[in-house]
Structure 1
Amino acid sequence: MRTDLSNWTPLTVSEITRVFSDIPIRWCVAGGWALDLHLCRQTRQHSDIDVIITRDEQLIAYRYLSRNWMLYKAQDGMLDLWEDGEYLDSTEDIWVSESSEMPWAFQIMIIDTEENSWIYKRDKSIKRPIDEIILKTKEGIPYLRPEIQLLHKAGGSQVREKDYIDFKTMLPSLLQQEKEWLKLSLNRQFPQGHDWIEFI
């Protein structure tokens, strides 16, 4: 088990692309970097970097990544080694480093799918076809659609300051249909209201 949660030296987007481009799975950059890739510019400093994979392809990802990396599953506030052949039914967050003494390099977020659709973990009635949730930069780097990334940022138990900054930075660039989807999804998850809805 590791407890050094703030010990980060994250890979760059280019390095992440090199790591994952040879793995035969669906993947994309997520988090604040996904929004910056959409805007084609870096808008703030990033203390980490996130990559999304699907739950049904987790063991393929493990087989390739475990050759050069140590993978830790985040559960119940602890980071324990992800064992070879272990299928993760509910774990959503994997922390990755080169060794037990090295800083964290990236995180993997495992998403659930059903009948070729992505399912939002906090409200399973919110879905999108899996082929629609990933966009690509002109260089071919896959990243999570901005409205879906913003839903993840808005939907947590606590909206962090950087999430609000990302929302305000990203909002003017969203297409009308992207704003409508985000507003509809927030209204569905938060029928009592959400602070961001009035700005959309």
Structure 2
Amino acid sequence: MHLEVLNAVRALFADYPGRYWIAGGWALDLFVDRVRRPHTDVDVLVLARDLDLVAATFTDPRPTVENPNTGDQRPWEPGETLTPGPGVLAFPDDLFPAPVRIMLAASDGDDWVYHRGRGTLRKPLDEITLTTADGIPYLAPELVLLFKSRSDRPKDTDDFNDVATDLDPTRRAWLHDRIAPRYPDHEWLPALS
């Protein structure tokens, strides 16, 4: 698998003392151990409670705050509160083989908490963490697909179709049981049943 961009992320985070995960489409590629499609960037997930660690680690260059809808960027000052979901930090696009974006995750103690809803959807941080043979941490596929299930973008449906058969029954049931109550007619549900 071509990992130049992921090795660049690992080098970038080498001194970062908090947890981080490769997320998005790259996480699904790591799960199935093949590059399934071209990627325009690399999403890296960190815990929102660790923003002070992000600020202390990434000082030169300091990431900027990016509007995920428009791509507009503005300076980020340490101490500024950013929230999971809309809070995205971006490094200058020309520093790495692909743009690197930091997404923020809600958490409570040792649990990841889905930032949408009332905080009732959670999973232990150790359970959402998978690691490649050479030590790159990435987000469990059922979480990546949960985020993608809210979209009707063709690439998200393609991502689901590419990896659905690789999900074991536990991951498949977990994802089904999280999508069905909110989207009872979701097109992915038959494949997850």
Same fold (TM over 0.5): yes
* Contact in 2 for aligned 1:95/1:104 (Cα 8 Å): no
**Deviation of the 1:187 alpha carbon:** 1.3
Matches of 2:191 and 2:6 in 1, distance apart? 30
- Is the Cα–Cα contact under 8 Å of residues 68 and 98 in structure 1 kept in the other structure? no
Q: TM-score, normalised by structure 2?
A: 0.87
Amino acid in the other structure paired with 1:199: A
Q: In 2, distance between residues paired with 1:56 and 1:147?
A: 23
Would you say the 8 A contact 2:65–2:87 is kept in 1?
Answer: no
Q: 1:69·1:98 contact (CA, 8 Å) conserved in 2?
A: no
In 2: Cα distance, 1:171 partner to 1:102 partner: 30
Q: Deviations over 1:50-107 (max 9, x none)?
A: 00000111121122112234322427854221113323245422222168x9997210
Match of 1:17 among 10, 30, 42: 10
Instruction: Name the aligned partner's letter for residue 187 of structure 2.
Output: D
Runs of 4+ in 1 over 6 A off after TM superposition: 101-104
- Please say if residues 96 and 104 of structure 1, whose CA atoms lie closer than 8 Å, have aligned partners that are also in contact: no
Contact 2:83 2:104 in 1 (8 A): no
List aligned pairs for 1:149-188, cutoff 5 A.
Answer: 149-155=144-150, 158-188=151-181
1:36 to 2:29 alignment = yes
1:76–1:152 CA distance, 2 compared to 1 (3 A): closer
Report the Cα distance in structure 2 between the residues aligned to 1:25 and 1:51, rounded to whole angstroms: 12
- The runs of 5 or more residues in structure 2 that have no matched partner are none
Which secondary structure state, in structure 1, belongs to the residue aligned with residue 15 of structure 2? Answer: coil
Taking only aligned residues, the RMSD between alpha carbons, in angstroms, comes to 2.3
Give the share of equivalent positions with the same residue, in percent: 30
Within 5 Å, give how 1:1-200 maps onto structure 2.
12-74=5-67, 77=70, 78-89=72-83, 91-97=86-92, 105-123=99-117, 124-155=119-150, 158-190=151-183, 192-200=184-192
Q: Is the 8 A contact 1:29 1:50 kept in 2?
A: yes
For 2:115, the aligned partner's letter is K
Give yes or no for contact 2:5–2:96 (8 Å, CA) kept in 1: no
Q: Per the alignment, do residues 20 and 173 of structure 1 end up closer, same or farther by CA in structure 2, a change over 3 Å counting?
A: same
Query: Are the aligned partners of 1:97 and 1:104 in contact in 2 as well (CA < 8 Å)?
Result: no
Q: Residue 34 and residue 103 in structure 1: after superposition, are their counterparts in 2 closer, same or farther (change >3 A)?
A: closer
Query: What does the per-residue CA deviation read over 1:121-154, in whole Å, with 9 as the maximum and x for residues that have no partner?
Result: 2233211012211100111100000011001100
Distance 2:170 2:15 in 1: 34
**Normalising by structure 1, what TM-score?**
0.84
Aligned length in residues: 186
Query: Aligned partners of 1:42, 1:76: CA distance in 2, in Å?
Result: 26
Q: Which one is further off, 74-83 or 39-48?
A: 74-83
Q: Structure 1 residues 48 and 197, CA, compared in 2 at 3 Å: closer, same or farther?
A: same
Instruction: Provide the C-alpha distance between the structure 1 equivalents of 2:9 and 2:96, rounded to a whole number of angstroms.
Output: 17
